Each structure stands twice: as C-alpha cells, then as structure tokens.
Amino acid sequence: MRCGSTATAARWWCKRVSDTLLAEARRELGRLPGVLDALLAGCDEEAARTRPAPGEWSPVEILCHLRDEETEDFGARVRVIVDGAAEFTRIDPERWAKERRYREASLPDALEALRTRRRASLDLLASAATDTLAGSRPHGRLGRLSGLDLLAAWVAHDRIHLAQLAGTLARIWALRWADLRTEYAGPIPYPPAPEP
C-alpha cells in the first residue's frame, strides 16, 4: 500500500508507517558519527588518503562524500518536502569529489563537519511533521520521491558507505601487511592489482 490514497485505512496505515519510519530513521541517522569515530580511530593521514584500488575512494573521500550529501542531497531534499518548495536542486557528487579535492581534505575536519551537519539534519527531522513527509517531488531518473522515500534511502546510503569504508579499511590493512597471509581472513574487498 502506497501513501497518498484517500481511504481512511490507507491514511491510518500511512500515518503509522510515517511515524515509525521517522522515529527509526532519526535513531539510525544519529548513530553514524559514533560508528565513524570507531571505524576511523587511529587512521593516520597516509591511510586516510590511500585508495584501496584504482578508481575507488580513500577513507577521507568517503567521509567528504557523506559530509556533502548530508546537506546538499538528503538534507536539502527533505527540506524541499518539509518547506513545500517546488523542486529538488540537481546534484553531482562525482564532480564534487574532484572539484572539492576530497582526497586532500583533513579527515578530522571532515568528520567534525559531518557531525555538525548531521546534528542540524536531526534537528530538522525532529521538527518535521510526519504528514508533511508523505509529500513528493519529481526526480528526473526515479519519478516522484516522497520525504518518506528519502528518509529510507538516507539510512540505506549511510549503510552503503559504512560498508564501503569498512571494506576500504580492510584492504588498506591488508596492503600494509602485504607480506603476511591476510587472505586467511576471508575475501577482502578490492583485490590488489596483479603484479606484472
């Protein structure tokens, strides 16, 4: 059942789903800074900039992506729904990584900026009326997206990048100890390039 129907049962269902999703999303989104602190503890400048494989992002690049997505993608798009604005602003995260020179950023500064932006996002969600989040706007590739769609995707996005970061850190660790049999651990993401 999709929200938007006018039937009483559908409205009740949508209200319940909206309330549950908002509460769970706020809780899950609030956990990210602590999880990042734990994952990145002890990550030095060299490791922060190490890419696990060609074409993959380093830990600091992943963190900068999360920082910018916080306010320019998910936070901004939920605000469009909550404030009743007409449309989403176009984004280009791949271009941001190059133009904003993510790989050169300070890991602690990026983490603190993300922490600050996440607090602001949680404040926005704390003040959002759940019925407002059922509103939607057109998205070029996906059709219409509601605030509820965005909330569910936001948590999934965090988890996707936490998995990416964990895999990146595992490969960086394995590269550091390349003379040892780290493959005993099991499949490590981003296999190193074969030696010539």
* Residues 82-97 pLDDT 10s: 998 888 889 999 999 9
- Residue 3: pLDDT band (50, 70, 90) is low
d(CA 113, CA 183): 35
Q: Which tens digit of pLDDT belongs to each residue from 151-179?
A: 999 999 999 999 999 999 999 999 999 99
Structural tokens at position 185: 């651990």
Annotated domain spans of the chain? 33-179
Q: What CATH topology corresponds to 33-179?
A: Four Helix Bundle (Hemerythrin (Met), subunit A) (1.20.120)
Identify whether the C-beta of residue 48 lies closer than 8 Å to the C-beta of residue 58.
yes
Helix (H, G, I), strand (E, B) or coil at 48: helix
Pairwise pLDDT comparison (32 vs 84), residue with the higher score: 32
Q: What is the mean pLDDT of residues 19-28?
A: 94
pLDDT of residue 6: 56
